[in-house]
Structure 1
Amino acid sequence: MCGTSLVGQQDAIAPLKAAAERPEAMTHAWLVTGPPGSGRSVAARAFAAALQCLDQGCGTCRACTTALSGTHADVTVLATEKVVIGIDEVRDLVATAQTSPSEGRWRVLIVEDADRMAERTTNLLLKSIEEPPARTVWVLCAPSANDVLVTIRSRSRHVGLRVPDPEDVARLLVDRDGIEPGLARECAYAAQSHIGVARRLARDPDARARREQILALATEIRGVGDAVLAAADLVAVAEEDAKAATEERDVAERNEPVAHARSR
């Protein structure tokens, strides 16, 4: 199963690999849990790629590259930056689940933040999970199994990811992104093993500078007045960091169609 960002998760993802390789090990609904930075969405997309790939997830064919990016015709990804996933979004997803795969082997539906669904919305999803059409697979992602309704947990196979070791994250940054080992290690520990944050710190000097600015705020507080000013500065830096992260993600998404067109 492809997905080089799944650092230190070999044991956890073994059931996913087995399901992609052997039909008898397949389950129609999966619940992938783990703390931020553990690679929940990466695992879900890698699993989708392995299900569509004729070679159990080679990572390079068109089926793999489009599944990993979320642009495969039979892989639907529901991700949100909102506090709550809307019921209309899930209703559309359930409708998609009823259709047969158009070009791949499976219809795969990934919900990256299943914990953000209200109970009413989850109940709508539950019926589809209870009576799944043939060749349809649900992959729900959440921080922990307790973050979703027990009815969802009881009907899904659980895959629990853990926080990767920072040394493993540092090696990933060196091998995948060509980061200098010392900087990679520093960023991995600074990000507390969050792969996405570590990568952004390693590749963006401005991100590292903002982090140093935030850490320096604590040393400047001498009283209530300093605390108020520091709080305002913290908000400003946090907003700047969030804006930079959003812009980086937007650039990556705009570049994805070009990369896929070249791989065909």
Structure 2
Amino acid sequence: MSAFTDRLTDGLYGAGWAGVKKLPEPAAAALGRRIAEVAWKRRGKSVLRLESNLARVVPDASPERLRALSRAGMHSYMRYWMESFRLPTWSPERIRERIRIEGEENLREGLDAGRGVIVALPHLANWDLAGAWVTSCVGVPFTTVAERLKPESLFDRFVAYRESLGMEVLPHSGGAAFGTLARRLRSGGLICLVADRDLSSSGVEVDFFGETARMPAGPALLAQQTGARLLPVTLWYDGPLMRGRIHPPVAVPETGTRQQKTAVMTQATADAFAAGIARHPQDWHMLQRLWDKDLEERSA
């Protein structure tokens, strides 16, 4: 990426955070819809990749159905951005009005036990809004990990944005964050990890919609090492609301090696993700290659 492109990318995101949050909400929503339509009609690489991914989620979908899903998916994705640009200005009351969560008892029971809780989410709906709900409505701070972005100034913007919502943000850099996450859990804390795409070379093979993909081993390993509760969470949009489900805990198998236990737990987490994505495919914002077959084709 050139220095000019770096500055342009950072400037565009900066303008979004500075400008969109000042717009009236109807104007911001209309802007998001317009951008989504333009992006979808251009049929760029991201839209085509989204359709390719959705073809695995809805294998019996016709080409027309896939196009409709990718269109809805781009609108959902831009809704995420418009909400995220405005989220730092929302009051706890506003956040509470916009989100409904099922299975909250699974989270509270884990926190009350004092052994730590790991929340694992896929790229569904608005995970930042879910995080803001945790910090402002449940009243619990948490730690998360962010992928390093280029340019560095853009990564700094994302860190500052999420810290403004009450999150502790650690950079994802070759597993260096693992020790800090373990310490937070041993002190009874909460960590939240977006965990449907592996960013390392140590991902766990899972069956995901009938094909092999790799997902991070971290959530399962942390649960085994610290005794923390592992909770998959899925999210979806429902009109003006965002809804979510905190699934029951993923149990640590009683027998097997650490590697075997990690494989079983990661598969169980992937199954929970798949159930949520299958019900709300238009809200899964996966615009990158995910399955092993696609990654191998890119390498070739």
Q: Specify the TM-score bucket, using the shorter chain as the normaliser.
A: 0.3 to 0.5
Larger Cα-atom Rg: 1
Give TM-score scaled by structure 2 length. Answer: 0.30
Relative to its length, the structure with more strand (as a share) is: 2
Identify the structure with bigger relative contact order (alpha carbons < 8 Å, sequence gap 6+): 2
